[in-house]
Amino acid sequence: MLGGLNIVSVSEMLVAFNPWWKESFGLAFCPRTIYGEIRRFHPLPQIIAFTGLRRAGKSTLLLKVVHDEIAAGRDPKSIMYFSFDEFKGTEPIELLKTYFELTGKDVSKEKTLLLFDEIQKADDWENKIKTVYDLYKGKAKIYISGSESLLVRSKSKETLAGRIFYFKVEALSFREYLDFKQLKFEPAALYQKELHREFKSYVQSQGFPELVDVTDKQVIQKYLQEGIVEKIIYKEIPSIFPVKETAVLESMLKLLMEEPGQTIDMQTLASQFKTTRQTISNYFSFLEQAFLIRKLYNYSPNKRKAERKLKKYYPTILSPSLTFKEDPLAQSKVLECVVANALRAEFFWRDEYKNEVDIILTEPALLPIEVKLSETKSKSLELFIQKFHAKKGYIITQNKQNDQTNKVETISAFNYFLSH
């Protein structure tokens, strides 16, 4: 028995998960920037882990590894893929025994590629993967993936220290979105209307690969709510964190999905939801670690000071009721959130006089960015540049043609993403 499943059912699952054992394996795959980064680490013995939001493309990246290894001449039976998504009781070591019986492979004598999808659903996965790694080190190359953050527990850091590299898989970039649709607009200057149209569709799809060709608002709404939000809120987060009020957790997320970029007063929110301030603080942390929200700190050259100051929150998924709206206020909120997520922003800036800059990047150099629907001037941006000696700043707009004044460049969002 394997975690309550009989050996026949596990065998059947393995055969179903690994069709390349019996037939040729093809895969439709559009280029993703992160894949090239991942492959650079393949020759090293360490485990490679994919983390990130549900439906961002982690499983497809694992299958791309399989495809490329077979194309490079690896024996297909020396590759084993298994998803724990619906089979969390399965034990990795026992699973491998079944794999060896099915294929006749001996990992002690030949190199094997092992891919464990949704590994966080296996009980005590850290120790079990450590056992597999230590047992077959030098012979088995291991890939794992997980929808929640595999880093949320200090246990995983301690157990797998020195044995693992983590890669966060994000939603598609605008360039990747165009690649998925097999669209090329070059030179971009000649296709501004077309790019603006496609950027609008990109925002509505929110960069999820399965939504690239979907334009129906209701379909997108159902996909995001039932396929991602509800599964994370009601199943995945409570399986890792102590959550007693899942309805409050969902309401907090919806608040940000409909009003992104808020600075949150924890006590006010606690009173609104009739719970404690500590609960609200904990729930924001859980949402962040599940990749559902992004937290920005108020920028200060002193990092400790920044962490103590005001914080701003953006959802990584927006409500379609907002992304499909045509009114300027809604579009402005959406654009700011999309830019913050696309740039993996960590800071904004607001001073005691309420001067504010939406996004502050600190690597490779200090770069302030204001996001505006159509305006091309920002006193706050100029003030930040002067105060912190930034070399330049950007105003990112919805559809404004490129313009530059002194140290401030105005550029449309789609042109910015295609040129950076």
Domain assignment present for residue 412? The answer is: no
For residue 26, give Cα distances in angstroms to 21, 65, 113, 315, 378. Answer: 13, 12, 18, 35, 51
pLDDT given for residue 381 in this prediction: 97
Give the total number of structural domains in the chain. 1
Q: What is the pLDDT of residues 304-332, one digit of tens each?
A: 766 667 899 999 999 999 999 999 999 99
| Predicted confidence (pLDDT) at residue 357 exceeds the cutoff of 50 | yes
Q: Specify whether the CB–CB gap between 7 and 14 falls below 8 A.
A: no
Looking up residue 59, the CATH number of its domain turns out to be 3.40.50.300
pLDDT at 24: 94
Element at 112 (helix H, strand E):
strand 112-117
- The predicted pLDDT at position 150 comes to 53
Q: Does residue 341 lie in a domain region?
A: no
Establish if 111 belongs to a structural domain: yes
What is the predicted pLDDT for the residue at 149?
Answer: 61
Indicate whether 324 belongs to any domain. no
What pLDDT is attached to residue 90? 83
What range defines the domain where residue 163 resides?
7-169
Judge whether residue 154 has pLDDT over 70: no
pLDDT given at position 7: 45
pLDDT category of residue 148 using cuts at 50, 70 and 90: low
Q: Is 280 a member of any domain?
A: no
Token duo for residue 355? 């001067």
Inside any domain, residue 250:
no
Q: Does a structural domain hold residue 337?
A: no
Looking at residue 153, what is its pLDDT?
A: 54
Write out the DSSP string of 134-147. HHSTTTEEEEEEES
Task: Determine the Cα angle at 108 with ends 107 and 114, to 5°.
Answer: 25
Residue 368 near residue 360 (C-beta atoms within 8 A): yes
User: Does residue 120 have a pLDDT over 90?
Assistant: no
* Residue 132, in any domain of the structure: yes
Phi, psi dihedrals of residue 217, rounded to the nearest 5°: -60, -40
Give the model confidence (pLDDT) of 188-243 as tens digits: 999 999 999 999 999 999 999 999 999 999 999 999 999 999 999 998 899 888 99
The yes-or-no verdict on residue 66 having pLDDT over 80 is yes
Q: Average pLDDT in the 343-368 region?
A: 95
pLDDT for the residue 255 = 96
Residue 89: which pLDDT band, with cuts at 50, 70 and 90?
A: confident
